[in-house]
């Protein structure tokens, strides 16, 4: 471990550009270690070695493996949610906006590194529930909040008839999975081909608009659902 003087010097660098670069270096090393070994199999020694920093430096930034993993969860989930939950606020093509969001969401969720990350969080959450909360708040909750704001905006414009925007947002997120993500999560299938992602998303959007769209959107939703059924058949 580093001496008190060394730790004090390092702490003064945390908010500097060098400190930000060092933190990123540590996070990159931690990401590699946790993905390879899982939460239980990873150690701070491993993280320090892979990140190329001393244990003293590592503990200045994160005083425990749990705090490091939680920071990694929040950073990755927030970055992914910010990249995916992007809507054309002024556009009127709701079907396209929802379909684009749904395809990006399911494609991201089905990536092997994301599936491995989710499995690691689930395995660790029983003993460290704060890790599960961090995942939930920084990822699904952030995306649902962005989506709820979009649904509210479109309802104000008279293009949707949603009453409870938060409930509707969560319903949409569940529809986008269509059972497909659970198949990957539990090892039933290894991957989701792009055509299957499109089928799941199209069907989910059709159901969502049948519930919350305007009357003309209902007819469009029925046509889309029929097209999806023909593709699947």
Residue 23 maps to which CATH number?
Answer: 1.10.10.60
My answer on whether 162 and 196 are in the same domain is yes
> How far separated are the first and last CA of the chain, in Å rounded?
63
Which of 77-91, 107-121, 123-137 is least confident?
77-91
| Residue-range definition of the domain harbouring residue 112 | 77-232
pLDDT at 90: 60
Answer whether residue 51 shows pLDDT above 60. Answer: yes
- Rounded-to-integer distance, Cα 74 and Cα 28, Å: 14
Q: How many domains does the chain have?
A: 2
CB-count exposure of residue 119 (10 Å: 0-12, 13-18, 19+): middle
Residue 135 located in a structural domain: yes
- Rounded-to-integer distance, Cα 137 and Cα 151, Å: 20
pLDDT tens per residue across span 53-107: 999 999 999 999 999 999 999 888 888 777 777 776 566 789 999 999 999 999 9
- Rounded-to-integer distance, Cα 28 and Cα 33, Å: 9
Asked if 212 contacts 190 with a C-beta cutoff of 8 angstroms, the reply is: no
My answer on whether 59 and 81 are in the same domain is no
Asked if 52 contacts 25 with a C-beta cutoff of 8 angstroms, the reply is: yes
Residue 214 maps to which CATH number?
Answer: 1.10.357.10
pLDDT at 197: 96
pTM for the model stands at 0.74
Answer whether residue 158 shows pLDDT above 80. Answer: yes
φ, ψ of residue 160 to 5 degrees: the values are: -135, 165
pLDDT tens per residue across span 163-202: 999 999 999 999 999 889 999 999 999 999 999 999 999 9
- Residue 109, Cα to own-chain centre: how many angstroms? 7
Question: Residues with Cβ < 8 Å from 201, sequence gap 6 or more?
Answer: 99, 102, 103, 106, 176, 178
């Amino acid at each position: 471990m580093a001496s008190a003087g060394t730790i004090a010097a390092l702490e003064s660098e945390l908010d500097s550009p060098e400190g930000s670069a060092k933190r990123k270096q540590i996070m990159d090393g931690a990401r590699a270690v946790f993905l390879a070994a899982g939460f239980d199999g990873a150690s701070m020694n491993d993280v320090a070695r892979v990140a190329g920093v001393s244990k003293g430096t590592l503990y200045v930034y994160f005083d425990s493996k749990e705090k490091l993993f939680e920071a990694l969860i929040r950073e990755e989930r927030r970055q992914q949610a910010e990249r995916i939950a992007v809507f054309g606020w002024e556009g009127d093509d709701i079907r396209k906006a929802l379909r684009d969001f749904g395809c990006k969401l399911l494609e991201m969720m089905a990536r092997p590194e994301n599936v491995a990350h989710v499995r690691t969080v689930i395995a660790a959450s029983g003993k460290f529930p704060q890790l599960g909360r961090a995942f939930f708040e920084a990822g699904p909750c952030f995306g649902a909040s962005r989506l709820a704001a979009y649904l509210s905006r479109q309802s104000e414009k008279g293009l949707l008839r949603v009453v409870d925007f938060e409930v509707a947002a969560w319903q949409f997120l569940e529809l986008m999975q269509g059972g497909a993500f659970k198949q990957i999560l539990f090892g039933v299938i290894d991957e989701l081909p792009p055509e299957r992602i499109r089928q799941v998303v199209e069907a989910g959007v059709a159901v969502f608009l049948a519930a919350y769209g305007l009357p003309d959107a209902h007819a469009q939703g029925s046509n889309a659902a029929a097209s999806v059924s023909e593709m699947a058949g």
